[in-house]
């Protein structure tokens, strides 16, 4: 019986394929070391090469490098722009990165009501109820109008039945008025 010869050559028979494999491996090593620019260079050579079996894999890894590089090089002109980016991360479900950005913002602009509000929403979405209530209380103290926004914000639906949440959003109108009630015989000033 005569065996068919295959058109594929092993790495030892095809020096170009061997070089492509070396570049691919070097790209993966660079990725593991978080040297994404370097990794991208190696993977680009493989992805544009003639060997489809590793070119596809190299393209996938190259996309990962691009995503990492994009995250690192994202520059924000204002804290508000940075906050909008963090909110976009929350909206796509990247809670870990969103938290990193919001915590960074919290250090940069410690009295920004919107940062406290964003942290409250993120904490609620991730099941950190106590932290959510604390951040929401802080946000409302900085900007009382945020209580109206929180009433209709679906990010807080996990707190809807919590009486502490209700107290934050619907404060007792008589609580602050007690001091203004005149004692018998005194006039209100």
* Distance of alpha carbon 142 from alpha carbon 14, whole angstroms: 68
DSSP string, 20-41: HHHHHHHHHHHHHTT-HHHHHH
Closest CA to 84 of 111, 118, 112: 118
Q: Is residue 146 part of a domain?
A: yes
- Please enumerate, as own/partner, the contacts of 40-43 that have beta carbons within 8 Å and a separation of 24 or more: 40/65, 40/66, 40/69
Q: Identify whether the C-beta of residue 20 lies closer than 8 Å to the C-beta of residue 46.
A: yes
Residue range of the domain that includes 58: 16-73
If one counts the domains in the chain, the total is 2
Identify whether residues 61 and 127 lie together within a single domain.
Answer: no
Q: What is the pLDDT of residues 113-171, one digit of tens each?
A: 999 999 999 999 999 999 999 999 999 999 999 999 999 999 999 999 999 999 999 98
Q: Is residue 150 part of a domain?
A: yes
Domain-ending residue, one of 51, 73, 95:
73
User: How many Cβ atoms from other residues are within 10 Å of residue 143's Cβ?
Assistant: 14
Q: What is the pLDDT of residues 3-20, one digit of tens each?
A: 544 445 555 578 899 999
Q: What is the pLDDT of residues 139-155, one digit of tens each?
A: 999 999 999 999 999 99
């Amino acid at each position: 019986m005569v065996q068919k010869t295959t058109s594929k050559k092993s790495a030892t028979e095809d020096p170009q394929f061997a070089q492509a494999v070396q570049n691919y491996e070097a790209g993966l090593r660079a990725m593991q070391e978080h040297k994404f620019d370097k990794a991208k260079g190696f993977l680009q050579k493989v992805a544009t090469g003639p060997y489809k079996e590793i070119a596809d894999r190299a393209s996938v890894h190259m996309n990962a490098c691009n995503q990492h590089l994009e995250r690192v090089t994202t520059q924000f002109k204002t804290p508000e722009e940075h906050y909008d980016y963090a909110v976009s991360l929350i909206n796509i479900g990247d809670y870990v990165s969103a938290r990193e950005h919001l915590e960074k913002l919290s250090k940069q602009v410690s009295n920004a009501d919107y940062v406290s509000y964003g942290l409250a929403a993120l904490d609620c979405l991730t099941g950190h109820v106590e932290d959510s209530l604390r951040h929401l209380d802080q946000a409302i103290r900085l900007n009382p109008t945020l209580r109206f926004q929180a009433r209709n914000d679906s990010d807080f639906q996990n707190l809807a039945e919590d009486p502490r949440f209700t107290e934050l959003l619907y404060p007792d109108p008589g609580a602050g008025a007690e001091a203004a009630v005149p004692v018998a015989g005194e006039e209100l000033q």
